[in-house]
Structure 1
């Protein structure tokens, strides 16, 4: 584990594994980076892999006020300043939106990026009325229902899967404590809003990674990014969905390593 301090004095921490060119992994919702451990294990023999424990999901840092995407970018900035060398940034789900915002805010810090289905705003808000209902359920002391609403109506997972995930939360107290953070994460993405114009200025090589079994709207968001950004490659994982990092870690690691080799080990091919 490495630790450092952001400009506002808050503590920053990341799992630190392996040696070599640096890959920074930004996890998605309801997580602390552990969901990317199997991918990291397949990369650490060739790369130094940092899995940031995102500020949005730090139970020790949240004080009742919602965490903004800009505050999360400052934690990424702190890691960039600490490492002080070009790196590949990888973002999954809402961590992909954080990766996009970091690429905009920190030009020159990253040699490339892999974005696994970031739910960036491309039109209407991501959460909208469904987020209002999920927050109401949370306020009523029903985190299981709040998560089920989020998964069914915002992520758009099948109703049965959303219900099962919500029910599981009631059995694992720690997950229940993360539900309001997930809702705050969704609200933070809506606060960022439509940023395709800003993302169009990201000119490093970017792999847009999706799964053929993922909710259709995530593919539509990748479509919009592909149209907007100048230097992208689209990769679609067969028989995989939004949790490919857990279910197909070998494939995901290979995709990351291929771009890492290109932009970090072969400077002549950097944009």
Structure 2
């Protein structure tokens, strides 16, 4: 592999703070919203549907703006990164792999991630590109950012419908990460097993893959 493209939520960053902040903003118990997230995951629905269940009729765009205006908008710091992120990305770059971080996040999330100075060649979000997963155009943009042919590009993510299946359809190689609710729930699903070129439990497993031992 010449390039590895990483999903963001539950691959690079934990979603704990994200959901906790929404719980507090909507004044919904954190356990309640967490359970709703689990329910929509199990049903194969969009995770934003958990917010719609918690607050029927919610205007998500308006709520995002209201949170920002109230000084309670998006926030990311070092504690939001999984522990294997910096070691794994650094090890891949040492081995000459181009590292791209690209997922379904807002433009603001992209700014916050770049401020963390990750060991990556490029950090981009769907909000900045104007196209989101699972649309094929997102993966075309990812390949362009990676500067390698699709079959020399590996996309790493936890979500089958947003990451593994569409990346595979776009001609990329894929690694399914057993991490977060989507990664754990669908890890042994037969369709995921067939679609994923590799199945990993940690980003550090990618070094073995790159060295041809996976």
TM above 0.5, one fold? Answer: no
More strand by share: 1
TM-score, scaled relative to structure 1: 0.35
TM-score, scaled relative to structure 2: 0.43
- Of the two structures, which has the highest relative contact order with CA contacts closer than 8 Å and spacing of 6 or more? 2
